[in-house]
Amino acid sequence: MANDTTDWYSAEVATLGDRLAAARDAQGMTQEALAKRLGLKVKTVQTWENDLAEPRANRLQMLAGILNVSMMWLINGEGEGVTAPEDGALSADVSALFLELRTLRAQIVQKADKMAQIEKRLRAKLKEEGQL
């Protein structure tokens, strides 16, 4: 996999939560240890890694420093971050399945964003017509 970093952590196939979990793992930290360093509850770190919420800018800056990655890498996969798993670490079949899963997740996120945009336009139209 010549383009491991792009395949694993790019904005197209990985989420902020994916990159956060990878960076935390690369530092050998548990969610509990990271939460303690940030002065937060473990549930907060879990929601970030599960993409149910996103950290604020000041927390992103702290995360980047603690995890030894750039803020931009956490946000969009560009810049200084962790390297993708070694070629031999996962079988080709498992790597392909992970890539397919990440691609599908990215597509779902894009579709959810599109749905939110359409819903916003629909609400504006209903409000304009006095039906909301």
- pLDDT of the residue at 6: 43
- pLDDT of the residue at 33: 96
Give the Cα separation of 47 and 103 in Å (integer): 21
Give the Cα separation of 35 and 121 in Å (integer): 38
- pLDDT of the residue at 92: 77
- Pair of tokens at residue 57: 């800018």
Give the Cα separation of 7 and 99 in Å (integer): 7
- Pair of tokens at residue 35: 């939460």
Kindly give the parts of the chain with pLDDT less than 50.
Answer: 1-6
- pLDDT of the residue at 9: 76
- pLDDT of the residue at 36: 96
Can you list the domains of the chain with their CATH numbers? 4-128 (1.10.260.40)
- pLDDT of the residue at 125: 93
- pLDDT of the residue at 2: 36
- pLDDT of the residue at 104: 82
pTM above 0.75, yes or no: no
- pLDDT of the residue at 79: 84
